[in-house]
Amino acid sequence: MWANEFSTALARLCQHARRLAGSPCLLCKKGTPEHALCDACEETLPRPLRPCPVCSLPAAATTACPSCVQSHPPYDRTIAVYRYRTPVDRLMRDLKFNGRLALAGYLALQLERAIGAVDRRPVAAPDLVLAVPISAERLRQRGYNQTHEIARRLRLPDRPRYRTDLLRKVRDTPAQTGLAARQRQANLHDAFIVTEALHGRHVAVVDDVMTTGATLAEIALALKHAGAVSVENWVVARAERPGEPIAQSG
């Protein structure tokens, strides 16, 4: 709890300092944009290409991709702002490991826009928003949860409630980087708990980067076991399949 309060106070202090002095774009280091990035750099950020509505990987149509039809992921929808490649990977590392909390507000704004552009049919709009939690040990080491920093800044028209106490990570699992899909699933088994019943609730889960989807799948299973009707992922960046063509901005 104290770590979240500290990170909130630190973020406000950084924002105040930014307003007073002006800060250059976090990518090109030029100008003093209103948000973290200048317009020119924002145009270079790779957007998804015709994404599958369930997993947000490229699909041939607007319906679920063959992989999702066959495997039936436990989540119902994924909304992603960017594809996880240069320079998005750099932004995500700066937020997660270098304390660039000014990026959280910028990324929350971009996520709001992506959410607002989605056709709500057939999945109902979430009435509850959660952030992917990190373990207590990881929180002590880093001092903040980058996903919480994005989620708490979301401002959506239908005002779904943001809760920080409903989803907990109870095991400090090894880093997922470098693990195969099955290893990621085994690594996360029973790592998350839901602290109260969610009967009839429609839930959105905010994450910074979705790679194989193992973390979000494990969370969706836990949420649905607690009674959630639907679970959708709101992610800043979606990792790609090898060999996928380079995205164009827009």
pLDDT at 174: 56
Tell me whether residue 245 is in a domain. Answer: no
pTM, two decimals, is 0.83
Q: Which domain holds residue 67?
A: 2-238
Tell me whether residue 219 is in a domain. Answer: yes
For residues 177 and 169, give the distance between their C-alpha atoms in angstroms, rounded to a whole number.
18
Tell me whether residue 250 is in a domain. Answer: no
Overall number of domains in the chain: 1
Residue 2 in this model has a pLDDT that exceeds 90: no
Q: How many CA atoms lie within 13 A of 38 on its CB side?
A: 13
CA–CA distance from 106 to each of 4, 26, 111, 130, 245 (Å)?
19, 11, 9, 19, 26
Tell me whether residue 148 is in a domain. Answer: yes
Tell me whether residue 249 is in a domain. Answer: no
Tell me whether residue 147 is in a domain. Answer: yes
Are the C-beta atoms of 223 and 194 separated by less than 8 Å? yes
Per-residue pLDDT tens digits for 73-128: 999 999 999 999 999 999 999 999 999 898 999 999 999 999 999 887 777 899 99
Encode the chain in three state secondary structure.
CHHHHHHHHHHHHHHHHHHHHCCCCCCCCCCCCCCCCCHHHHCCCCCCCCECCCCCCECCCCCCCHHHHHHCCCCCEEEEEEECCCCHHHHHHHHHHCCCCHHHHHHHHHHHHHHHCCCCCCCCCCCEEEECCCCHHHHHHHCCCHHHHHHCCCCCCCCCEECCCCEEECCCCCCCCCCCHHHHHHHHCCCEEECCCCCCCEEEEEEEEECCCHHHHHHHHHHHHCCCCEEEEEEEEECCCCCCCCCCCC
Among residues of the chain, what percentage have pLDDT more than 90? 59
Between these two residues, 77 and 61, which has the higher pLDDT value? 77
Encode 102-121 in three state secondary structure.
HHHHHHHHHHHHHHHCCCCC
Per-residue pLDDT tens digits for 169-223: 987 665 545 555 555 555 566 789 999 999 999 999 999 999 989 999 999 999 9
